[in-house]
């Protein structure tokens, strides 16, 4: 029987964030000094070898043009939503499919004020916790780890078992999650979040053509194949208008529903303004109707 392994796509996302830290500070779209700590040794070694890194990035730029730009835009977009939620009095941060998300450890204003719930598969979570302990020492009191099958287990029950309070103002992060779950799972999750009335959600999504492999952009078709090669699969995609309707039908007011390239003027400055950003990524931020 094969031993469960950490999510390959979660490692790839950590690599993108670690790569961003090699840019001059003024040109970085996002900042994650912990990302490199989560990488397997061979991945981290690529970042330290200029020749290997240059060759790899040249190859990936041909296969996935603009994907790196969209991924770091996603990180920054969600970081900004978290900062705004902190200003608005957020008391709980729920990260579903957390992977190697480091916001609980790197963002100011969370420790001591906000309880963070990280939900993910046991193998990825165990690997992350071990690497975090090596990087920062003892576990942080404000973070609660919930090992589970996000697509199948009851998120409501698992959160309740771990001290979640539905009456506290909360933000739910679904970064890189929506394309991998069923429509039924997403509908149930959005219904649970909207029922809180003091809750908000932020996530990214892909168009149906990326999910089914028919995308007109080469990066979308290659993303479809790449995910399959790692033993995973896209399951769920939306157009902009479909996603807008879903959120409103589920009891949300849409704050933003934006295509990744539309964020270039917001996040890419100086030399970074020349970096491509693929249009296959979309980002959404919504608050439960009647939230205060």
Query: Does a structural domain hold residue 2?
Result: no
pLDDT tens digit sequence for 126-149:
999 999 999 988 777 899 999 998
Parent domain of 195 = 8-288
Burial 225-238 (b: 16+ CB within 10 A, else e): ebbeeeeeebebbb
CA–CA distance, 18 with 80 (Å, rounded to integer): 19
Residue with tokens 């909360």: 170
DSSP string covering 203-220:
EEE--HHHHTT--SSHHH
Query: Does a structural domain hold residue 102?
Result: yes
Residues 6+ apart with CB under 8 A from 90: 82, 114, 169, 170, 171
Kindly state the tokens that stand for 264: 């270039």
Percent above pLDDT 70 for the chain: 98
Query: Does a structural domain hold residue 3?
Result: no
What is the average pLDDT value for the chain, to the nearest integer? 95
CA–CA distance, 39 with 127 (Å, rounded to integer): 10
Query: Does a structural domain hold residue 65?
Result: yes
Q: What is the CATH number of the domain that holds 94?
A: 3.40.50.150
Torsion of CA 173, 177, 178, 184, to 10 degrees: -100
pLDDT tens digit sequence for 45-91:
999 999 999 999 999 999 999 999 999 999 999 999 999 999 999 99
CA–CA distance, 282 with 280 (Å, rounded to integer): 7
Query: Does a structural domain hold residue 1?
Result: no
How many domains is the chain built from? 1
Query: Does a structural domain hold residue 244?
Result: yes
Query: Does a structural domain hold residue 158?
Result: yes
pTM of the model: 0.96
Query: Does a structural domain hold residue 197?
Result: yes
Inform me whether the pLDDT recorded for 4 exceeds 90.
no
């Amino acid at each position: 029987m094969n031993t469960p392994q950490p999510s390959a796509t979660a490692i790839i996302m950590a690599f993108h964030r670690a790569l961003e830290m090699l840019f001059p500070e003024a040109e970085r779209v996002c900042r994650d000094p912990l990302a490199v700590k989560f990488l397997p040794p061979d991945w981290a070694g690529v970042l330290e070898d200029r020749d290997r890194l240059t060759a790899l990035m040249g190859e990936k730029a041909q296969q996935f043009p603009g994907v790196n730009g969209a991924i770091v835009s996603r990180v920054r977009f969600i970081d900004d939503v978290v900062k705004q939620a902190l200003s608005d009095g957020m008391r709980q941060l729920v990260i579903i499919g957390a992977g190697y998300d480091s916001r609980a450890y790197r963002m100011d204003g969370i420790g001591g004020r906000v309880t963070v719930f990280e939900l993910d598969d046991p193998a990825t979570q165990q690997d992350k916790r071990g690497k975090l302990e090596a990087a920062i020492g003892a576990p942080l009191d404000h973070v609660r780890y919930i090992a589970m099958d996000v697509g199948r287990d009851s998120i409501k029950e698992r959160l309740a078992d771990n001290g979640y309070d539905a009456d506290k103002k909360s933000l739910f992060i679904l970064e890189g999650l929506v394309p991998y779950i069923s429509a039924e799972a997403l509908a149930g999750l959005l219904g649970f979040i909207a029922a809180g009335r003091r809750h908000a959600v932020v996530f990214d999504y892909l168009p149906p053509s990326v999910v089914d492999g028919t995308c007109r952009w080469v990066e979308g078709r290659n993303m479809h194949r790449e995910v399959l090669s790692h033993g995973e699969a896209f399951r769920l995609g939306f157009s902009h208008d479909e996603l807008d309707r879903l959120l409103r039908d589920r009891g949300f007011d849409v704050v933003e529903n934006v295509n990744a390239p539309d964020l270039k003027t917001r996040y890419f400055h100086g030399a970074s303004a020349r970096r491509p950003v693929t249009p296959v990524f979309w980002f959404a931020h919504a608050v439960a109707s009647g939230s205060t």
